[in-house]
Amino acid sequence: MEYRNLRVALLGGGSVGAQVARLLLEQGPELANRVGATLELVGIAVRDVNAERTVDLPRKLFTTNAEELILGADIVIELMGGIEPARSHILLAINSGADVVTANKALLALHGPELFAAANQVGAQINYEAAVAGAIPIVRPLRESLAGDQVKRILGIVNGTTNFILDRMDTEGSSLEDALAEATALGYAEADPTADIGGYDAAQKAAILASLAFHTTVPLASVYREGIESITPAQIESARKAGYVVKLLAICERVSDENGVLGVSARVYPAMVPRSHPLAAVHGANNAVFVEAESAGSLMFYGAGAGGVETASAVLGDVVSIARRHVAGGPGVAASSYAALPVFDIGRVTTRYAVTLEVTDEPGVLATIASVFSKRKVSLALVEQSMTPAVMATKSRAARSATATLVIGTHDATEAALAATVQDLATNSVVSEVASVLRVEGA
């Protein structure tokens, strides 16, 4: 069968780009049968055409002239990463009549509205399945499969590096430093892991997911972010004893504040997740996105969140979808931000805390601590007290009265009230140290 020809330009020849090029070349006939058109890879724009590649590809495909390549393409795949020149290249592609596939989470989180507006103006399509969770299909289910439903909440493990580190700390008792070194040796962590362990990567993905799920533009600056830099083996062990595991979560939810105003929250932080929750079973460098919808109920999408060939699978899925639209005709699917809900700061969000305190071991301490919580209208769900082994072994009354450990779990309260409570505790005379503060999610 003879098909029409669609010219595909690839920007970026790194680990993902090289695998995309390989699959386009090797699976060309099968892809043509699926699409109803031939997908011709016309070139790969790179900085250095002589650089070593992870895949053996025809030398003639490589060029440093990205602009010329874009102007001759029907579909442009952007896998360069970074903000510029990726942003300019995508705008050039859209304005020249091409559709775009990208895996650039940073660019979409910062400039998504601008890019989608440009595409909507000319009826072009931007697909970005690989930008959020690697090979895991989550963008298309949110945009299409759940289009007739109302998404209430998303809990996502969307960064493989941090999940690997926290999993090693939980299952093997590793320190954060040792687990990070192992992640680096295995290729899960970059030489500079700040974007991962600092939660920046997950925050970018949270902005994309929240914007998509709630039909509202959620700027990256509005996403609250905490990383895992301060997580200790003691916190991991304490969570384990209580029946929890610590995960770095991207949380996007539709919420109402104390005045009944409906809005959106997007936040990233390490949290304690019950071991009975499906996300607790996500090990190694895998990702998972847990979606709670009004009618569909609870859904989980699980799999590889990174990797060259795995991510290439998601990119090719987007390419096939766009190519089919070219064959069928009609404008691209417009980005939806009709709801325009306010984006709440974290202080207006309701959550739960698990607080570990080192306190003086003397009569009346529990009552004093309880009064601090009561002052902020935070209700206690659990209070456990234990002596440290060193203190328990000491026979001196003065030594015995030196310190004890309190583990306090709260009921739901606003983040502002909980944060203020922790600040009050830190300055209270009976508190020697606020040893740990972790939020509790998924319970």
- Percent of residues, the chain, with pLDDT higher than 70: 96
Q: What does DSSP assign to residue 264?
A: E
Dihedral sign (CA 335, 336, 342, 348): negative
CATH numbers and ranges of domains, the chain: 5-135+309-328 (3.40.50.720), 139-303 (3.30.360.10), 349-440 (3.30.70.260)
Contacts of 256 (CB under 8 A, 6+ apart): 262, 263
Report pLDDT digits (tens) over 23-76. Answer: 999 999 999 999 999 999 999 999 999 998 889 999 999 999 999 999 999 999
pLDDT greater than 50 at residue 15: yes
pTM: 0.92
Which amino acid, one-letter code, is at 141?
P
Contact 94, 119 (CB under 8 A): yes
Does 18 carry a binding-site annotation?
yes
What is the pLDDT confidence band of residue 102, given thresholds at 50, 70 and 90?
very high
Does 15 carry a binding-site annotation?
yes
Contact 218, 266 (CB under 8 A): yes
Does 297 carry a binding-site annotation?
no
What is the pLDDT confidence band of residue 400, given thresholds at 50, 70 and 90?
very low
What is the pLDDT confidence band of residue 392, given thresholds at 50, 70 and 90?
very low
Mean pLDDT throughout 247-270? 94
What is the pLDDT confidence band of residue 3, given thresholds at 50, 70 and 90?
confident
pLDDT greater than 60 at residue 387: no
Q: How far apart are CA 149 and CA 317, in angstroms?
A: 23
What is the pLDDT confidence band of residue 361, given thresholds at 50, 70 and 90?
confident
Taking the C-alpha atoms of 40, 45, 51 and 52 in order, what is their torsion angle to the nearest 10 degrees? -30
Which is nearest to 221 in space by CA: 211, 231, 212?
211
What is the pLDDT confidence band of residue 304, given thresholds at 50, 70 and 90?
confident
- The per-residue pLDDT for 267 is 98
Contacts of 33 (CB under 8 A, 6+ apart): 1
Which amino acid, one-letter code, is at 222?
S
Cis peptide before 85 (omega within 30 of 0): yes
Does 307 carry a binding-site annotation?
no
What is the pLDDT confidence band of residue 396, given thresholds at 50, 70 and 90?
very low
- The per-residue pLDDT for 335 is 80
Q: In Å, what is the CA distance from 430 to each residue of 134, 355, 371, 385, 409?
A: 48, 15, 12, 14, 18
User: Any bridge partners for residue 355, and if so which?
Assistant: 408, 437
Mean pLDDT throughout 334-358? 92
Q: How far apart are CA 355 and CA 399, in angstroms?
A: 24
Mean pLDDT throughout 199-227? 97
Q: What angle do CA 90, 94, 100 make, to 5 degrees?
A: 60
Q: Which residues are catalytic?
A: 205
